[in-house]
Amino acid sequence: MKQPTNTPNHFEHLLDQHHLKKTAPRLKVLSMMADKETATSQPDLESLMNDVDRVTLYRILNVFEEKGIIHKVFDLNGTANYAICTSNCQEHRHHDEHLHFNCTQCNNVYCLNDLNLPAFDLPPGFKVNGFTLYATGLCPDCSKKQN
Amino acid sequence: MKQPTNTPNHFEHLLDQHHLKKTAPRLKVLSMMADKETATSQPDLESLMNDVDRVTLYRILNVFEEKGIIHKVFDLNGTANYAICTSNCQEHRHHDEHLHFNCTQCNNVYCLNDLNLPAFDLPPGFKVNGFTLYATGLCPDCSKKQN
DNA sequence: TAATCAAATGCAACACAATTGCATTTGAAT
DNA sequence: ATTCAAATGCAATTGTGTTGCATTTGATTA
Ligand SMILES: [Mn+2]
Ligand SMILES: [Mn+2]
Ligand SMILES: [Zn+2]
Ligand SMILES: [Zn+2]
């Protein structure tokens, strides 16, 4: 019986699991990022969380990333974007090894979790810990509008 | 007869090709980034170019990137790193489609140009323009020191 | 070689992301 | 209800990157 992964209940569970207090700002951050195919940029998060202090937001994002609840991707402009981890990420052990597609038009960063990536080799001496394929171009929405 | 690709002469050639004036700051930037397997971070460049104004450095980096002379990679900390393009990059048409390896220990970003990347597919609707494989872990040097 | 002028640089001011220290508040446990 | 570490809020600071404008410089041309 599969558990729902995007309900307020699940969020509280998530915080419990990682020994984090269930606070309003934290639950709000999680609900903001839930049910989205795309990552959310730091500026967007900041304006969505208008009643919460900027510093608090940064601290929440940092602790969520450390715990493996969310992961960070930088877009073409160097802006941080955040998305909830779907895979089995743990504290200091992320495995978000999916394709990140950054649309050059709308600037959205897509987490294409379902796509399986090809294997690759490295020159001797390099010890790989994690990887991601990063692609740029036009997303489906912007691709349509182009015509 | 292959031309050398890292000499002061070649740098002047490069600037000529792109209709850029051969100035001291520009040649200095090129020589800083030459003959390195790893990209150079903005902070490092800034301290290496201590006699040149910060703004000038930013403008040089921007124009070099536009012209396809260098490319930018963000490391794990979101810091911009720059490296000379080896492939056939043109104005607004970069094809630096190689592996970028970011060492979690020394934070160096390696441009592994010689490694050929596997092909991959995308869901329908996405129009790919460019891509890079981004891996993290331990570089050969740090891997050795670890033992 | 000297004059010319757009291109490039330098400087001051600014915008914004991110961090730090410390006082205050709050959630969970007793 | 009491307690206290954990979390938040606020003020100040650092660092990256940008913009406007005055000054300098390198390529062109007389
Ligand atoms: Mn992702
Ligand atoms: Mn590269
Ligand atoms: Zn788009
Ligand atoms: Zn290293």
Q: Which residues of chain B lie closer than 8 angstroms to A136, CB-CB?
A: 128-131
CA dist B62 and B66 (Å) reads 6
Asked if residue B29 lies in contact with residue B57, where contact means CB atoms within 8 angstroms, the answer is yes
Residue whose pair of structure tokens reads 């160096």 in the numeric block: B108
From the CB of residue A78, how many other CB atoms can be counted at a distance below 10 Å?
12
Does B84 have pLDDT greater than 60?
yes
Q: Which residues of chain A lie closer than 8 angstroms to B144, CB-CB?
A: 125
pLDDT averaged over every residue in chain B: 92
**Shortest CB distance from B115 goes to which of A112, A123, A136?**
A123
**Structural domain boundaries of chain A?**
8-146
Find all residues with CB under 8 Å of B20, minimum gap 6, and list them: B26, B63, B67
Asked if residue A94 lies in contact with residue A130, where contact means CB atoms within 8 angstroms, the answer is yes
Give this prediction's pTM: 0.92
Asked if residue A25 lies in contact with residue A56, where contact means CB atoms within 8 angstroms, the answer is yes
Domain A8-146 falls in which CATH fold?
Arc Repressor Mutant, subunit A (1.10.10)
Q: Which of residues 29-58 of B touch strand C (CB under 7 A)?
A: 51-53, 55-56
Write out the two tokens for B2.
């292959």
Ligand with minimal distance to A96 CA:
1
In tens, the pLDDT along A30-61 reads 999 998 999 999 999 999 999 999 999 999 99
pLDDT value for B47: 95
Tell me how far apart the terminal alpha carbons of chain B are, to the nearest angstrom: 44
CA dist A3 and B81 (Å) reads 42
Q: Is A25 helix (H, G, I), strand (E, B) or coil?
A: helix
Work out if A32's Cβ lies within 7 angstroms of strand C: no
Write out the two tokens for A34.
């839930």
Interface list for A 79-118 with B (CB within 8 A): 80, 99, 101, 104, 110, 112, 115, 117-118
Asked if residue A94 lies in contact with residue A68, where contact means CB atoms within 8 angstroms, the answer is yes
Asked if residue A12 lies in contact with residue A23, where contact means CB atoms within 8 angstroms, the answer is no
Asked if residue B140 lies in contact with residue A141, where contact means CB atoms within 8 angstroms, the answer is no
Residues in chain A, overall count? 147
Q: How far is B135 from chain A (nearest CA, A)?
A: 4
Enumerate the β-bridge partners of residue A71: A83
In tens, the pLDDT along A74-118 reads 999 999 999 999 877 888 788 889 999 999 999 999 999 988 888
* Closest A-chain CA to B114: A123
State the DSSP code for B114: T
CB within 8 Å: A122 and B112: yes
**Shortest CB distance from B143 goes to which of A74, A80, A127?**
A127
Does B2 have pLDDT greater than 50?
no
Interface test with B, best of A66, A107, A112, A131 (most B CBs within 10 A): A131
Q: Choose among B61, B36, B2: nearest CA to B112.
A: B36
Q: How far is A88 from chain B (nearest CA, A)?
A: 18
In tens, the pLDDT along B88-141 reads 788 888 889 999 999 999 999 999 998 888 889 999 999 999 999 999 999 999
Question: Exposure pattern of B27-57 as b/e (b: 16+ CB <10 Å)?
Answer: ebbbebbeeeebbbbbeebeeebeebeeeeb
Query: CA-to-C1' distance for A36 and C29, Å?
Result: 36
Name the closest nucleotide to A42, judged by C1' and CA. Answer: C17
Q: Is A115 exposed, middle or buried (0-12, 13-18, 19+ CB in 10 A)?
A: middle
Work out if A62's Cβ lies within 7 angstroms of strand C: yes
| Chain D footprint positions (protein CB, under 7 Å) | 6-12, 15-20, 25-27
Write out the two tokens for B97.
């489609």
Work out if B136's Cβ lies within 7 angstroms of strand D: no
Asked if residue A80 lies in contact with residue A42, where contact means CB atoms within 8 angstroms, the answer is yes
Taking CA B114 as the corner, what is the angle to CA B109 and CA B117, rounded to the nearest 5 degrees?
85
Q: How far is the CA of A113 from the centre of ligand 1 (A)?
A: 7
